[in-house]
Amino acid sequence: QRSDLAAADEEASALGTAAGEARTLMFTQQRAGVAAQAALERAEADAARLTRERGSAAGEVAQLHERAMKIEADREQLRERSERLSRLHDEEAGAAASAEASIAGIEQTAHEAGERLTQWRVEVGRLAEQAGTSRREVSRLEQQRDECVRQTRDIAAHAERASARLEEHRSQMQVAAQEIAHATEEAARLESLVSEAGDALEQASAMVQDLGVRVGSAREHAGHLERDWHALEVSRREIEVKRETLEDRAREELSLDVGVEYEDYRTLMSDTPEDGVRVTRIDPPEAALRIDTLRDLLKKLGHVNLDSIEEEAGLAKQNDELVRQVADLDQARGQLERLITELNEASRQRFGEIFTRIQEHFGGEQGMFRRLFGGGKAEVRLMPLIKEIETPDGVRKVETDEVDLLESGIEVIAKPPGKEPRSISQLSGGEKTLTAVALLMSIFRSKPSCFCVLDEVDAALDEGNVGRFNTVVRQFTDLSHFIIITHNKRTMQGADLLYGVTMQERGVSTRVSVRFEQVDQDGRISPGATPSLRQGLATMRAGAPTQVGA
């Protein structure tokens, strides 16, 4: 047996080893299966991704083809624009060349003016030299004059000796005088020439300055022209962008290709149209001003309502209906005002009559107050009106002597036996209760009601007042039915029918009723009483919470 057990143990261990190897192999195969499943999922995901990428690549190829076509169209437009810009550049270059030619002409004129100025300066120098020669000649003639004077003195001194030569010297003096006069005239003429040369020099200097200013202005004008050309180039580019934007807006909003329709527009706006019909040209500033005005009007009008005419007709009908309703309302208001006036008059009349009776029943000699208190005196009166009066210190309330049956308040003045008259708010709790019951009974006496519910009215009354209260209530039972909720035993004794409310289970109330004719003189339940009454009374005697109403 031991050998069998050992063989069984060895076989069991071999089986356990084989089972472990099988489990290891199974786990390895499971991991390999999981890895293969993961690789398969990754391959499927890659295949799906490649499919999506192929679709997106096809879409991108189509988009690139469209972009290539668009770029080709843009390149054609840019080529046309470049040609237009080249033509415009040539025109601007021609204008600049003409401006440079004008500047060169101005510079040539300035050069010629400078040469003339140099010639005038030379002429002025020559005239100055002639003036110096004339001055020297004048000095010489003056010396000759002095010599002639000396010779005259010599001749006068030697008159006797030079009488023969006197005539010759006189003739020489006359010639000298003529030469002196001629020299004087020549000197005056030369001085006038010098003055004229100075004036010419000043004019030449002014002309040179003027030409210099003109040359500076021309250069400044050339700089302005260059800046204006750059500004025009920038404006041209901006206008080109605006034109493209307007073409796009016209194409999107109006479905109008401006480039295609431009030739027809030029033909239509030309002076000699093909169809012979000339179109009046539009003044752009005036048209722009009118467009701005119309846009402002459109903004003020808001959105265009195509149903405005129908709505206007509907509003007209509604207006007529509202006018009719307003007339009806005015008529109804008049009727209501008359009705309110009539109701106020009727209310004042009826309230005055009822209030007079209540006053008599409450505070009269045989009134409810005297019955309940066993004496005393009471009064129900209307309180004076209180009006608001504006004063320098503000609005102030003032009590007047006026009394209005519909607006005045009611004040109760009570004087219990042995006390001073006071307002009901100054009485004790029991006095307040008896006064309120007296007023209620006075109202019932004036206008009886079918039912009257009194909730624990006798809670604040002593035994004597409870008895008077029960007596008064008993006197009114021929006019009204009184339902009194009370815990007072004396009030319960005066009731005709007693209801007790007990709670045998929490949250569940049970009502028990008893008529006093079912109770004998000893306070026992008569044999004819219902079982529910017996059970309810037993529960009440057991001490369960009970609420009793008479």
Q: Is residue 225 part of a domain?
A: no
Tell me the two tokens of residue 169.
């010297």
Highest mean pLDDT among 95-104, 434-443, 521-530: 434-443
Residue 218: inside a domain: no
Containing structural domain, residue 41: 20-194
Can you tell me the distance from the alpha carbon of 468 to that of 373, in angstroms, rounded to the nearest whole number? 8
In a domain, 73, yes or no: yes
**DSSP 8-state assignment for residue 435:** H
Q: Distance (Å, rounded) from C-alpha 151 to C-alpha 134?
A: 25
pLDDT at 158: 65
Domain boundary among 166, 194, 222: 194
Q: pLDDT of 69-123, one tens digit each?
A: 877 777 777 777 777 776 776 776 666 666 666 666 666 765 666 676 667 667 6
pLDDT recorded at residue 331: 92
Backbone angles phi, psi at 438, to 5 degrees: -65, -45
What integer is the mean pLDDT of 208-215? Answer: 82
**Residue 164: what pLDDT?**
59
Residue 529 has pLDDT above 80, yes or no: no
pLDDT at res. 478: 83
In sequence order, the 6+-apart residues with CB closer than 8 A to the CB of 462 are 430
Give the pLDDT confidence score for residue 362 in this predicted structure.
84
Q: What is the pTM of this model?
A: 0.38
Both 327 and 182 in one domain: the answer is no
**Stretch 268-279: mean pLDDT:** 62
Assigned domain for 437 exists? yes
377: enclosing H helix or E strand? strand 377-382
Take residue 356 and report the two structure tokens written for it: 């007079």
Task: Round to the nearest angstrom and report the end-to-end CA distance of the chain.
Answer: 103
Question: Residue 514's pLDDT is what?
Answer: 66
Highest-pLDDT range among 160-174, 181-195, 375-389: 375-389
* DSSP-derived 3-state class of residue 34: helix
Within a domain: 142: yes
> Looking at beta carbons, which pairs linking 188-192 to residues 24 or more positions away fall under 8 Å?
190/127, 190/130, 190/131, 190/134, 191/131
Q: What is the model's pLDDT at position 335?
A: 92
Q: How confident is the model at residue 148 (pLDDT cuts 50, 70, 90)?
A: low
Rounded to 5 degrees, what are φ and ψ at 114? Answer: -65, -40
Tell whether 499 is covered by a domain. Answer: no
Which tens digit of pLDDT belongs to each residue from 349-390? Answer: 888 888 888 888 888 888 888 888 888 888 888 888 887 777
pLDDT in tens, 96-110: 666 666 666 666 765
Give the pLDDT confidence score for residue 99 in this predicted structure. Answer: 60
Mean pLDDT of 279-300: 79
Mean pLDDT for the chain overall: 76
Question: Residues 7-21: what's their mean pLDDT?
Answer: 71
- Among 236, 198, 248, smallest CA distance to 81 is for 236
Residue 259 falls inside a structural domain: no
Does residue 39 sit in the same domain as residue 173? yes
pLDDT exceeds cutoff 50 at 548: no
Res 30: pLDDT: 72
Instruction: Tell me whether residue 438 is exposed, middle or buried, using C-beta atoms within 10 angstroms of its C-beta: 0 to 12, 13 to 18, 19 or more.
Output: buried
Q: Does pLDDT of 545 surpass 60?
A: no
Query: Which of 194, 219, 251 delimits the end of a domain?
Result: 194
Note whether residue 424 is domain-resident. yes
Give the integer Cα–Cα distance in Å for 502 and 545.
6
pLDDT for the residue 248: 83
Residue 393 belongs to a domain with what CATH number? 3.40.50.300
Number of domain units in the chain = 2
pLDDT at 340 over 70: yes
pLDDT > 60? residue 532 = no
- The yes-or-no verdict on residue 429 having pLDDT over 50 is yes
Residue 452 has pLDDT above 60, yes or no: yes
CB atoms within 10 A of CB 162: 15
- Of 447, 463, 481, the position where a domain reaches its end is 447
pLDDT band at 337 (very low <50, low <70, confident <90, very high): very high
| Residue 258 pLDDT > 80 | no
